[in-house]
């Protein structure tokens, strides 16, 4: 990809209930999440993209479909954009998970998520929207900023926010933004 717009899904019932889940078809967007996705779609309306790539997890697919109401693009599902693998903690409440590292908990590593997200970005030509999840997006951004996991803790990826990367130059143009500047919009104009 030349430019990639990484979008976190809108608020879902996993977020509202403090649950970690990579289940494909269990948790939908909340009404707030639907509105967040619509707002993001409005921000992207009229801009030019080659397509939308989405995680296969329902909350991401729903977000991609809502955003696409404003763009009318082809949507492709790609496993590399999927939520973190939470191991035995999948479906558990965040407050019930021991305070240990991802490795100690048997969860997918930061490096694994970083590798698959960067591989996804590098495997398409053109300008794409990728709808994914907070931690995989944070991992991709960290790659381009050359940050390790601990150094990435301050990156905040809000619901339906947009993080934009020029993957050809490795430059981060926006992190967790809900609004697009005129400068950013000009990159995706005719």
Q: pTM for this structure?
A: 0.95
DSSP string across 108-172: PPHHHHHHHHHHHHHT--S-EEEEE-HHHHHHHHHHHHT--TGGGTT----TT-EEEEETTTTEE
The pLDDT tens digits of the residues spanning 72-120 come to 999 999 999 999 999 999 999 999 999 999 999 999 999 999 999 999 9
Q: Identify whether the C-beta of residue 68 lies closer than 8 Å to the C-beta of residue 74.
A: no
Domain of residue 150, CATH code? 3.40.50.1240
Number of domains in the chain: 1
The pLDDT tens digits of the residues spanning 137-171 come to 999 999 999 999 999 999 999 999 999 999 999 99
Domain range for 162 is 3-187
Angle (CA) 13 16 22, round 5°? 50
Question: Active-site residues: which are they?
Answer: 9, 133
């Amino acid at each position: 990809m030349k430019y990639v717009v990484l979008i976190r899904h809108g608020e879902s019932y996993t977020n509202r209930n403090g649950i970690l889940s990579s289940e494909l078809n269990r948790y939908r967007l909340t009404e707030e999440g639907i509105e967040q996705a619509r707002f993001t779609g409005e921000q992207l309306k009229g801009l030019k993209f080659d397509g939308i790539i989405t995680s296969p997890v329902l909350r991401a697919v729903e977000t991609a479909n809502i955003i696409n109401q404003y763009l009318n693009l082809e949507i492709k599902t790609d496993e590399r954009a999927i939520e973190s693998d939470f191991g035995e903690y999948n479906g558990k409440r965040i407050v019930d998970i021991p305070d240990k590292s991802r490795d100690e908990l048997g969860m997918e590593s930061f490096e694994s998520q970083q590798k698959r997200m960067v591989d996804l970005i590098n495997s398409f030509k053109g300008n794409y929207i990728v709808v994914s999840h907070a931690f995989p997006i944070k991992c991709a951004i960290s790659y381009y900023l050359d940050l390790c996991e601990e150094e990435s803790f301050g990156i905040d990826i809000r619901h339906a926010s947009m993080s934009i990367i020029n993957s050809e130059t490795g430059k981060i143009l926006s992190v967790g933004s809900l609004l697009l500047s005129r400068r950013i919009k000009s990159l995706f104009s005719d």
